[in-house]
Amino acid sequence: MSDVVLERVWKRYDGNVVAVSELDLRVNAGEFVVLVGPSGCGKTTTLRMVAGLESISEGTLTIAGKRMNDVPPRDRDIAMVFQSYALYPHMTVFENMAFGLRLRKVPEAEITTRVRAASASLGLDPYLDRKPKALSGGQRQRVAMGRAIVRNARVFLFDEPLSNLDAKLRHEVRLEIARLHKKAGATMLYVTHDQVEAMTLADRIAIMEGGRLQQYGPPMELYERPVNRFVAGFLGSPSMNFLSLTPSAAEVLGPIGLRLGVPESGVASVGIRPHGFWVDSERGRPMQVDLVEPLGAETFIHGLVGGQPIVASVPPATRPAVGDRVPLAALPSALHAFDSAGNAVPHGATSVTAAHP
Ligand SMILES: Nc1ncnc2c1ncn2[C@@H]1O[C@H](COP(=O)(O)OP(=O)(O)O)[C@@H](O)[C@H]1O
Ligand SMILES: [Mg+2]
């Protein structure tokens, strides 16, 4: 059974701002769904409508099968963790976690049990008597999560909980959240603009742009079969390369060893990920390198193909240098084809074939 269901949900703010358009989203019980997209696409608004902090202009929200549109936030059985996790500075870690339960008049023995359990799972036992100012950023974020966990809520909502942390901590707390989900088995709806968080945490990713859901599915499905150029370009780093095709007759993208043909197939552009290339001195066609980014485990090389910029990932052992001509090849199966509206042209419907150099 789906736990959190949004059906044709709209959010209009005063002044005709449409923040969310006709959103259909089903989150299954125990599922970890990540809502991802660029700033301003409607992620926070969606989360706040689920939490009850923002009214729903049109459409239906149900949680565990019950209509929630008009149910006050405290009766929705939801716990929320925000990006700015204001802790009470004068309270200890224990008191910060216990506070919400005290307000709800939970018996003291029960409060102690729940706080102890949350603190153990988050590695906070050594800090229970400390005040927030004596904690690192990551520890504070864990306290904020602990505050949500002790609620034993049915649904957890996260709004960019890692964006205030530095890169290393972000990774640690990310792992913490993944473990937490495995252990608690709660339903989680997690908002981020970071595609790495989305790819690594989600059972399913819902990717939004301009208030509209673009695609919803398991991370690798979105990565391998993006429905449009927006999804294709958003997931993956560096971003997918896009080469626009002139509507003239068959065109040969000689420099990457590919031939793209038959304009009536409706293909307006093709995409190929930086990792879709390999160095092939026999079949590849040379790309003149104008920028090299060595990352250690892999190296990105930049250059022009038919006047259009390309980034390719190559093994560091090839030691590419600016000015080199690197022979790049790619398989037709690594290609994504898009029509003039930016929608993916179904696999097999194109006449993209490998060139015979
Ligand atoms: N209270 C508000 N009044 C009017 N417009 C708002 C309000 N809150 C958000 N918006 C607008 O709604 C859109 C979506 O915002 P938001 O959900 O915060 O995006 P995200 O979290 O994806 O960055 C944006 O265009 C934003 O400016
Ligand atoms: Mg936001």
CATH of domain 238-354: 2.40.50.140
Q: Which ligand is nearest to the CA of 84?
A: 2
Average pLDDT (246-252) is 46
Residue 348's pLDDT is what?
52
Domain with CATH 3.40.50.300 in the chain: 2-229
CA of 107 relative to ligand 2 center, distance in Å: 35
Average pLDDT (155-176) is 85
Q: Which residue has the higher pLDDT, 328 or 258?
A: 328
Place of tokens 């290609």: 335
Beta sheet of 155-159, edge-to-edge order: 78-81, 155-159, 187-192, 32-36, 204-209, 212-217
CA of 218 relative to ligand 1 center, distance in Å: 26
Average pLDDT (242-262) is 54
Angstrom distance (rounded) from CA 105 to CA 102: 5
Closest listed residue to residue 225, CA positions, set 323, 336, 68: 336
Answer whether 196's CB lies under 8 Å from 237's CB: yes
Residue 249's pLDDT is what?
37
Answer whether 198's CB lies under 8 Å from 83's CB: no
Angstrom distance (rounded) from CA 285 to CA 57: 55
Residue to mutate (ligand 1; options 9, 18, 20, 45; most atoms within 8 A of CB): 45
Angstrom distance (rounded) from CA 161 to CA 159: 5
- Cross-strand pairs, 279: 328
Q: Per the structure block, which two tokens stand in for 211?
A: 């208030």
Does 247 have pLDDT greater than 80? no
Average pLDDT (53-64) is 96
Percent of the chain at pLDDT exceeding 70: 90
- Which atom of ligand 1 has the smallest separation from the CA of 208? 22
End-to-end CA, the chain: 54
| Threshold 0.95, pTM exceeds | no
Answer whether 291's CB lies under 8 Å from 320's CB: no
Place of tokens 């660029």: 38
Angstrom distance (rounded) from CA 140 to CA 119: 12
Query: From 3.40.190.170, 3.40.50.1360, 1.10.8.60, 3.40.50.300, which CATH number describes the 2-229 domain?
Result: 3.40.50.300
Q: Per the structure block, which two tokens stand in for 257?
A: 């060893």
Residue to mutate (ligand 1; options 44, 163, 191, 195; most atoms within 8 A of CB): 44
Does 217 have pLDDT greater than 60? yes
CA of 67 relative to ligand 1 center, distance in Å: 24
Average pLDDT (266-282) is 86
Residue 354's pLDDT is what?
45
Q: Residues 79-92: pLDDT tens digits?
A: 888 777 789 999 99
Specify the residue with its C-alpha closest to ligand 1, atom 3.
13
Using pLDDT thresholds of 50, 70 and 90, give the confidence band for residue 306. Answer: low
* Gyration radius (Cα) of the chain, Å: 24
Give the lowest-confidence range in 25-34, 125-134, 211-220, 320-329. Answer: 320-329
Specify the residue with its C-alpha closest to ligand 1, atom 6.
13
Domain with CATH 2.40.50.140 in the chain: 238-354
